Structure 1
Amino acid sequence: MLNDQLYPSWTESNRLAALRSYRVLDTPPEPTFDDLVQVAASTCQAPIALISLIDEGRQWFKAEVGLGVRETPLDRSICLSAMLQSGLTVVPDLNEDPRFARNPLVAGEPYLRFYAGAVLETPAGVPLGALCVLDHAPRALTEEQASTLTMLAQQVMSQFELRRIIAEQNERLAANRQVEQRQALLVRELHHRVKNTLATVQALVGATGRSTGSFDEFYRSFSRRIAALAKTHDLLTEDYWQTAPLRQIVLNELKPFAESRVPRFMLIGPSLELAADLAVPVGMALHELTTNAIRYGALSVPAGYVQIKWNVVESDEGRRLHLEWTEFGGPPVSEPQHQGFGSTLLQRVLPMQCNAQVEVHYDREGLLFRMDAPLVEQRLVPDY
């Protein structure tokens, strides 16, 4: 019992994985394999010939002649035992062999008596099944018939190997085409994003210049806005310029207050990815709201805090993002006397860039900003 030859060098899970790698199970009949079983039956002068593959719970026939079925349960499989033997297995009289005498195909219709099967074995020595011939009467094979049956089994495996190689090549070609298409889409999206970014930077230069009174003030305001734009772009590049998580966009702006002993902000909303064309203007809007809160609003005093709340609403026109920015505990709020860049961005740019509906309320208790915008659902570059 300790003889290593009694133990296979493969496991059943490995064997089944090898079988599936040939992508042959449940495929339709093919002339190449049909011809091989016809040659086997003719050469061995047997009424039945099969290319039998042992699957989990069944034996399936890639090709058959004389039996009339494409599969049987494993309790009827003679090839299951034959494939565990190397080379050719010949059973002159199945009815006299205790391994097969009670097999339903031996004890009953079609009353099989003779079996000869050559194992179908991978180059690594893993058995998949057998090329076999069967007869209704006890008999034997001549030396020439046995040799031919073995060579035909090798030809079956050669066809399986060729099939596997072609399938793997086709998969690699398909994967390469997918990569090429993805790269082309990515380049298009990158061109689009760079063009939009340059337009945004140009608008930032003009708007910041008009709303500041000195070069130093212009430089500080412009630098902060470019930094805010860069943070959102960093998130987008992690997903091939496609989407950025809303929660992270908000955290990028409020990060200086995240380690405060007293909570300075609350984020309430589901996990949500924003498409690039929505993420950029939303990121800029959150930057302006944060800057305003630090200079004049709730974040300008120790006791003040901000609540950012969002959810997704279903509508007849598709899903929409509803976002609210509410300030608490800050100085009394009054409507500004003149409109700066921040107000322009919130009330004019967001509706134009992302078709958003915007409300800004200068309540005495704290600023309230609401935005309702359609979500872009389709990705230009598909997921891997």
Structure 2
Amino acid sequence: MIADSHPKQAERLVALRSYGILDTPREADFDDIVELASTVCETAISVVNLIDADRQWFKAEVGLGVRETPLETSICSHIILEDDFVEIPDTLKDNRTGDNPLCLSDQGLRFYAGALLKTSEGLPIGTLCVLDHEPRRLNDFQKKTLNTLAKQVMRELELRMALEEQEVLRREMDHRVKNSLQTVASLVRLYKSKGHPESAEAFDAVARKVEAISLLHEELHQTTSNEMVPMKRFIQKVVDLLQKSAPANVTVEFAGDALEMKSEDASGIAMIVSEFVANSIKHAFPDDREGVIKITLHIDGVAGWRLACHDDGVGSAHENTSTSKVEGLGLKLINAVVSKMHAQTTRGADADGYHMTIVSNPIIES
């Protein structure tokens, strides 16, 4: 006997597909549930069964060895039309299953018990069921366990849906933040083009900070850890951006270890690197002198790090050049960031160029 379609078939199928679970690989979370159901109910077969439009598909199964079967031979397609829990002690004596080919063979399915998998709106999307090759009945404990495990399956599906919705929202927020930052950067460039020459440096400083924030936001969006930024990739992106704005005679290089930092510290490191590179580009390579700015970020001690910035420019002459108000503010910001991170700074110039090294206070293991 083939089951009728559910009275709310269209709504039911929309609900089923909204979970994004159909045709996904096997997973331990669901495999463990059918293993437990089979063990507690002492049955050869246990299945997390989802009823699609023309098939029943198994997210997890014990004792079947297949992932789907046609709807025409589905026992569960009858069950989703009925109560939350259905037991068929002998399938050959039940009108719903007495002519089912899966029940008529020598090793046919002679016993069935299933607990509905229902959405919060009450729409059935499948069952957690157990089956056996001999007629029998479940005791009260086994029935209660099967019902409880069915609710656990739905909790797992609902949690996954909530996480996916959260990810969609996060992607939308990411898109909007990126657009906002791009708008700010465009306005900065517009005002720079219309402003006085002496204001161009200030606008450049603002643009660098906006671009660094945009890159930081991108890294936070990509990472799965809680506000921890993979610094090697992040600072490489910052350096690549700075290289695009550098004159043809200056090369900016970066090398670093695979370490992570909190977003606040990552932002500070990006600001320090940006200010150092901008300052070197302005002062270290006069008269189109070719040169290299090297940035390194390495692990130093236990949970510590060392940021080294060096240019091979005019060195001591660079140190003696006058400092603009914008550069003075940049230096103050660097000092403030270093202080907040409880790090130490050394800087200076010699015949080989200008350098700055910042070392964090590592955690000393006792």
TM-score (norm 1): 0.48
Q: Residue 322 in 1 paired to residue 306 in 2?
A: yes
Alignment match, 1:25: 35
What is the CA-CA distance between 1:352 and the residue it aligns to? Answer: 2.1
What is the CA-CA distance between 1:163 and the residue it aligns to? Answer: 5.6
Alignment match, 2:152: 167
Task: Encode CA deviations 1:197-223: one digit per residue, 9 max, x unaligned.
Answer: xxxxxxxxxxxxxxxxxx836632321
Alignment match, 1:333: 317
Structure-2 separation of matches of 1:349 and 1:281: 9
1:323/1:172 Cα in 2 relative to 1: closer, same or farther (>3 Å)? same
Alignment match, 2:358: 371
Alignment match, 1:47: none
What is the CA-CA distance between 1:329 and the residue it aligns to? Answer: 4.4
Alignment match, 1:266: 253
Alignment match, 2:201: 221
What is the CA-CA distance between 1:85 and the residue it aligns to? Answer: 6.7
Instruction: Name stretches of at least 5 consecutive residues in structure 2 with no aligned partner.
Output: 1-22, 48-59, 65-99, 117-124, 171-194, 222-226
What is the CA-CA distance between 1:322 and the residue it aligns to? Answer: 0.8
What is the CA-CA distance between 1:27 and the residue it aligns to? Answer: 5.4
What is the CA-CA distance between 1:16 and the residue it aligns to? Answer: 7.7
Look up the SS of the partner of 2:340 in the other structure.
Answer: helix
Q: How does 1:276-355 map to 2 (within 5 A)?
A: 276-298=263-285, 301-315=288-302, 319-330=303-314, 332-336=316-320, 340-346=328-334, 348-355=335-342
What is the CA-CA distance between 1:360 and the residue it aligns to? Answer: 0.7
Look up the SS of the partner of 1:314 in the other structure.
Answer: coil
Identity of aligned residues (%): 14
Look up the SS of the partner of 1:23 in the other structure.
Answer: helix
Indicate if the aligned counterparts of 1:275 and 1:375 stay in contact, CA closer than 8 A.
no
Alignment match, 2:236: 247
Look up the SS of the partner of 1:26 in the other structure.
Answer: helix
Structure-2 separation of matches of 1:179 and 1:15: 17
Look up the SS of the partner of 2:267 in the other structure.
Answer: helix
What is the CA-CA distance between 1:334 and the residue it aligns to? Answer: 4.9
Task: Encode CA deviations 1:12-40: one digit per residue, 9 max, x unaligned.
Answer: x999889956822035965xx4xxxxxxx
Indicate if the aligned counterparts of 1:334 and 1:363 stay in contact, CA closer than 8 A.
no
What is the CA-CA distance between 1:177 and the residue it aligns to? Answer: 6.9
What is the CA-CA distance between 1:257 and the residue it aligns to? Answer: 4.2
1:274/1:161 Cα in 2 relative to 1: closer, same or farther (>3 Å)? same
Runs of 4+ in 1 over 4 A off after TM superposition: 13-22, 27-30, 88-91, 119-126, 157-165, 175-183
Q: Which amino acid aligns with 2:306?
A: H
Q: How does 1:69-84 map to 2 (within 5 A)?
A: none
Structure-1 separation of matches of 2:160 and 2:284: 53
Q: Which amino acid aligns with 1:227?
A: A
Structure-1 separation of matches of 2:126 and 2:197: 77
TM-score (norm 2): 0.50
Structure-2 separation of matches of 1:160 and 1:89: 29
Structure-2 separation of matches of 1:320 and 1:352: 15
Alignment match, 1:197: none
Alignment length (residue pairs): 245
Structure-2 separation of matches of 1:27 and 1:117: 17
Cα RMSD of the aligned pairs, angstroms, is: 5.2
Look up the SS of the partner of 1:355 in the other structure.
Answer: coil
Look up the SS of the partner of 1:51 in the other structure.
Answer: coil
Instruction: Name stretches of at least 5 consecutive residues in structure 1 with no aligned partner.
Output: 1-12, 34-49, 61-83, 92-115, 134-148, 186-214, 377-384
